Structure 1
Amino acid sequence: MRSEIAFYEPGQFVTHPDCPDWGVGQIQSVTGHRVTINFENRGKVLINAQLIDLIVIE
């Protein structure tokens, strides 16, 4: 388990490091370590930010 959680906020665009085929996702909500993202090729997914380092698209 990671000791630090990256700062995510609604509206940011991200990709999932292990699932590039999901495409770009937009963060819908952040509650603690739970991040809800709507991916273009996968739909809405709930990610545990303690386990996954999302890649923020600047």
Structure 2
Amino acid sequence: MRVRHPERPDWGEGQVQSVIGNRITVNFQHAGKLLINAALVELKVVEADD
């Protein structure tokens, strides 16, 4: 699944690598692999048409 961080558009699109509870590991184009707390951030899913 491809996502974007709503407050960090400079990170580019990210590929979700794993989801464990509220922890989402995402590999972003311009920020690398980051651990996102889903309780604090609602990542935006990138649709296939985008």
TM-score (norm. length: structure 2): 0.92
Count of paired positions: 47
Residue-by-residue CA offset, 1:24-46 (whole Å, 9 max, x unaligned): 00000000000000000000000
Query: Which residue is 2:20 aligned to?
Result: 31
The ranges of structure 1 where at least 4 consecutive aligned residues each deviate by more than 2 angstroms after the TM superposition are none
TM-score (norm. length: structure 1): 0.79
State the superposition RMSD in angstroms. 0.4
Output the CA distance in 2 between the equivalents of 1:49 and 1:57.
Answer: 16
Amino acid corresponding to residue 7 of structure 2 in structure 1: D
Output the CA distance in 2 between the equivalents of 1:46 and 1:22.
Answer: 13
Query: How far off is 1:19 after superposition?
Result: 0.4
Unmatched segments (≥5 aa) in structure 1: 1-11
Secondary structure of the corresponding residue to residue 21 of structure 1: helix
How high is the sequence identity, in percent, across the aligned residues? 57
